[in-house]
Structure 1
């Protein structure tokens, strides 16, 4: 089985997962979100991750795509330390710079792409989503449209 795990500071991961629920249908059951909330210590988060892993009862042969808000951030490093101690890191890939397009591409591709293909697709979609919105000039000039 393949799973998508979102890891972030605050409630960002939980918010992205909530948005994914609107698009992903049954695939959402393979997605989990964990956040290091304001005021929690790394030790608090370690306990949260440990409890999560014990509750879900993943198998050692399961594969994981982990998407984090920031590579090197304390939520991800703490998560990976616990994940490694539990023996799951070997079957995992990690992507940083979480955005909605990236996570949606990863989630809908979980079952039909290899981890390598999935990473390329998720990063590509994430990069394509980053652009400046150009405001049409006629919208700015017309007070009726505001």
Structure 2
């Protein structure tokens, strides 16, 4: 049962390598993320034992896009629309850039809040952040809740 869930989650993870569209269920998201985290730890240990740090670099580079696309698909499932996702990503990248240049504690704080959002938001259920009304101030960033 668990092996099947992991297999399905990893198939989804790697088959949607560059695909930002669509959704990722909570179950698929967490099975894929958990498996990738465990494999990352294993690759980190292996690369230190074989004294080949490039093994870890290759592993991380191989996973950067599927991690981003999985995160986007999961946040879309929670209720963000494309504009909201891009806005969140731009805020993160801008804060990171400004922090790296200025070493400002304010931008470090902003970065921590955004990272916390990326970590905590996937916990939410499908459409939990989707809005009911189109005239909401969050309308440009969130999907409108569909009646199920």
TM-score, L = length of structure 2 = 0.29
TM-score, L = length of structure 1 = 0.29
Bigger helix fraction: 2
Bigger strand fraction: 1
